[in-house]
Amino acid sequence: MNILVLHGPNLHLLGKRQPEIYGHQTLNDINTALDQFVASSSFDVTLKILQSNHEGELVSIIGEHIDWADGILINPAAYTHTSVAIRDALSTVGLPVIEIHLSNIYAREEFRHHSYVSGVAAGVISGFGAYSYILALEAMIHILGPKLTNHKDIV
């Protein structure tokens, strides 16, 4: 199964940007952890991991992977609260989507409580720091499980 992992704006600054909120792990640390999780699992999973600070680029990436991806993990970051375009792209491709946030967006400023993406997502994982990505990957594997040849490990 092919899973597209998208990181939104400013996530390339992880480890330096407000570590009291987002933690000390870098984006590379998170990507490495995802790759290691896949490598150590018994599942046949291929990840494609991309980051962009540009809304239009994220929209294009989503559309360009309509025939490749089986599911999408996305941390839209600030675009969570502003981007109808990203929501529309995710809705258009018709793939399972899991929305990810490092921080608990509901324990933060009021404007962060609204997500345009969550309405088209199978679920939202928020507040577990970098581990949120592993939880999301596990959830996506569970959602896509019937496509696996070895799905006896799925809970």
Give catalytic status of residue 131 as yes or no.
no
Instruction: From the candidates 7, 65, 79, 101, give the one annotated as an active-site residue.
Output: 101
Tens of pLDDT, residue by residue over 29-82, are 999 999 999 999 989 999 999 999 999 999 999 999 999 999 999 999 999 999
Tens of pLDDT, residue by residue over 93-135, are 999 999 999 988 887 778 777 899 999 999 999 999 999 999 9
Integer Cα distance of 98 and 111 in angstroms: 21
82 CA to centre of own chain: 17
Instruction: From the candidates 22, 79, 116, 133, give the one annotated as an active-site residue.
Output: 22
Return the structure tokens found at 2. 């092919």
Integer Cα distance of 128 and 134 in angstroms: 10
128 φ/ψ angles, rounded to the nearest 5 degrees:
-110, 20
Integer Cα distance of 86 and 103 in angstroms: 20
Query: Which residue, 76, 60, 61, 64, is CA-closest to 9?
Result: 76
The one-character DSSP state at 14 is: T
Confidence of residue 25 (pLDDT cuts 50, 70, 90): confident
Give catalytic status of residue 101 as yes or no.
yes
User: Is residue 6 helix, strand or coil?
Assistant: strand
Q: Show the beta-strand stretches assigned E in 28-148.
A: 46-51, 71-75, 97-101, 123-126
